[in-house]
Amino acid sequence: MGGVHETIIILDFGAQYTQLIARRIREAGVYSEIHPYNSPLEAFKERNVRGYVLSGGPDSVYEPTAPRGDPRLFAGTTPVLGICYGLQWMVQQLGGQVISGSGREYGRASLKLQRECPLFQELPGEFQVWMSHGDHVEILPPAFQAVATTGKVISAIQHGNLPFYGIQFHPEVAHTEHGSRILRNFVFKICGCRGDWTMGSFIDTAVAQVKMQMQGGHAVCALSGGVDSTVAATLVDRAVGKRLTCIFVDNGLLRQGEYDEVMQRFRDTLHLNVVGVNARQEFLSQLDGVSEPERKRKIIGAEFIRIFEREAQSLGPIEFLVQGTLYPDVIESVSVKGPSAVIKTHHNVGGLPEQMHLKLVEPLRELFKDEVRRVGQELGLDPELIQRQPFPGPGLAVRILGPVSEERLGVLRRADKIVEEEIRAAGLYQQIWQSFAVLLPISSVGVMGDGRTYENVVAVRAVHSQDGMTADWVDLPHGLLSRISSRIVNEVRGVNRVVYDVSSKPPSTIEWE
């Protein structure tokens, strides 16, 4: 949103919870963005920057290889708030001293205010904060004063006449009482923000930007049926109307009834200009006999690109590709830690823009997932879609262990539908990150009526997660598990056993393949 909204820039020194700082500030109605710690200030000169936050980080400032920011941050009068390592770097940079030693604090601590400070306005004189530091501030830089302590170390500081502040604790985590209030005090009382960044204002700006970027050009968008691509397409549709064509490919790996439901939503509710492509046979014949998970993903990715390209070419000249890229993907690629190791090749349309010479339109690249949901709400998308659990691009292919066939897809679809129905009936669908059935590549012996059976085993999986990176298995009520199990063995021909997956991520992954 170059130059438009008042913005708080967060310089990331590698802390675990930097994203939370951005989210807390955005919740207050102020747009906030994360950049690497060593970004030169010139990078922000076109922006309406109201303040900088320096995040925490795992290093010690006195080590020669410790990360350092742009020292010109302290040459101006734009407010700066250092958090944990950010505070320590500021102290060292401005002539104070940070040491390691007996001052380490991990976990809850009681913070006592020692003097008035705008950061702590209207807060009690003592409250709980969350600490996580081995080093601490020993000597303050000239012109700074201590404003709070835990009794053990200097825990908050301010400059005598410039808007530079530092806190040793983490205001972004829920364990710190009044944490959001402290960040709000920084953005409103110190940086002077108004707080007018809302989902409505985001939509207006995004629509205007897409119009400007595309001029009279034409775009295509690959819809997955999920919330990100749908919201991206709806925004672009608002900007350019029928100059956007959406393509929804039925790869034969969707859930029961999904293709028709999704097409109906796109056409009749959202009035998108959408082309549905039945490519079930093409995908299934490519996957015939393939068991290895990564090969399945590669085949599905390549097949998708081939079909999408073929359909897009039949539309006439196209210059743009709309993608539902979100902010966490953007941060990942600029992160100081570097992209995390690739454990599974995630299927996306990555190869398309270069191959087809398309320019990307990514109207959601500044948003977190919950913000995309709020934009969706604002755009009038139905709650059913907005609350939909994530579904992987390669679909049921990564939930059928071993080769994928029409027959095995049929078995899994029926079992999966029962899991969904029962989880919804129990009122748990929205609280759970993902819940689904998996078809195992083994048969087990059972007895039905008077006869012996030798049939499929279905595993049921349900996990809680924030972002899919880690996950805990859900302790579903036994009555619910029992209903799911008896319905599956009774209603799905070919299944005689149901097991529940009690593995968390790590070490397991959410999908079985």
For ligand XMP, the closer CB: 7 or 434:
434
For ligand XMP, the closer CB: 86 or 393:
393
Instruction: Confirm whether 170 is a catalytic residue.
Output: yes
Q: Which of 58, 217, 328, 468 binds ligand XMP (CB under 6 A)?
A: 468
Q: What amino acid is encoded at 236 in this protein? A: V
- At its nearest, how many Å lie between ligand XMP and the CB of residue 383? 20
- Contact between 57 and 3 (Cβ < 8 Å): no
For ligand XMP, the closer CB: 120 or 304:
304
For ligand XMP, the closer CB: 98 or 398:
398
CA angle 149/150/154 to nearest 5° reads 40
- At its nearest, how many Å lie between ligand XMP and the CB of residue 444? 24
The active-site residue out of 5, 84, 105, 366 is: 84
Q: Where does this chain touch ligand XMP (CB under 6 A) — which range of 32-40, 315-323, 478-486, 502-510? A: 502-510
Q: Does 296 bind ligand XMP (CB under 6 A)?
A: no
- At its nearest, how many Å lie between ligand XMP and the CB of residue 511? 3
Strands 154-159 and 144-149: antiparallel
Residues 409-438 within binding reach of ligand XMP (CB under 6 A):
434
Instruction: Confirm whether 464 is a catalytic residue.
Output: no
Strands 126-139 and 144-149: unpaired
Binding mask 381-410 for ligand XMP (x = CB under 6 A): ---------x-xxx---x------------
Q: Where does this chain touch ligand XMP (CB under 6 A) — which range of 25-33, 103-111, 409-417, 504-512? A: 504-512
Q: Which of 48, 97, 205, 509 binds ligand XMP (CB under 6 A)?
A: 509
Binding mask 8-37 for ligand XMP (x = CB under 6 A): ------------------------------
DSSP structural state of residue 471? B
Q: Which of 104, 218, 280, 505 binds ligand XMP (CB under 6 A)?
A: 505
What is the rounded distance in angstroms from the CA atom of residue 254 to the CA atom of residue 123?
A: 52
| Secondary structure (DSSP) of 146-169 | EEEE-SSSEEEEEESSSSEEEESS
- The alpha-carbon radius of gyration of the chain (Å, integer) is 26
For ligand XMP, the closer CB: 8 or 253:
253
Q: Where does this chain touch ligand XMP (CB under 6 A) — which range of 56-64, 115-123, 248-256, 503-511? A: 503-511
- At its nearest, how many Å lie between ligand XMP and the CB of residue 463? 8
Residues 305-344 within binding reach of ligand XMP (CB under 6 A):
344
Instruction: Confirm whether 346 is a catalytic residue.
Output: no
- Contact between 425 and 408 (Cβ < 8 Å): no
The active-site residue out of 170, 193, 303, 311 is: 170
Q: What amino acid is encoded at 90 in this protein? A: M
Structure tokens, 247: 């393509």
* Terminal Cα-to-Cα distance of the chain (whole angstroms): 38
Structure tokens, 222: 């690959």
- At its nearest, how many Å lie between ligand XMP and the CB of residue 297? 5
What is the rounded distance in angstroms from the CA atom of residue 304 to the CA atom of residue 394?
A: 10
Q: Is the dihedral of CA 213, 216, 217, 223 positive or negative?
A: positive
What is the rounded distance in angstroms from the CA atom of residue 513 to the CA atom of residue 242?
A: 39
Q: Does 217 bind ligand XMP (CB under 6 A)?
A: no
- At its nearest, how many Å lie between ligand XMP and the CB of residue 450? 41
What is the rounded distance in angstroms from the CA atom of residue 111 to the CA atom of residue 128?
A: 6
Please report which residue ranges of 288-432 form alpha helices under DSSP H. 293-313, 327-334, 352-355, 369-378, 383-386, 406-425
For ligand XMP, the closer CB: 178 or 297:
297
Structure tokens, 425: 């009936």
DSSP structural state of residue 285? H
Structure tokens, 368: 């977190």
Classified as helix, coil or strand, 294 is helix
For ligand XMP, the closer CB: 444 or 465:
465
Structure tokens, 193: 């923000």
For ligand XMP, the closer CB: 27 or 329:
329
Q: Does 510 bind ligand XMP (CB under 6 A)?
A: yes
In what helix (H) or strand (E) does residue 213 lie, and over which residues does it extend?
helix 199-214
For ligand XMP, the closer CB: 156 or 462:
462
DSSP structural state of residue 16? T
The active-site residue out of 172, 422, 455, 513 is: 172
Q: Which of 72, 112, 346, 359 binds ligand XMP (CB under 6 A)?
A: 346
What is the rounded distance in angstroms from the CA atom of residue 321 to the CA atom of residue 355?
A: 12
Structure tokens, 465: 């997660």
Q: Which residues bind ligand XMP (CB under 6 A)?
A: 297, 344, 346-347, 390, 392-394, 398, 434, 468, 505, 509-511
**Could you give the residue numbers annotated as active site?**
84, 170, 172
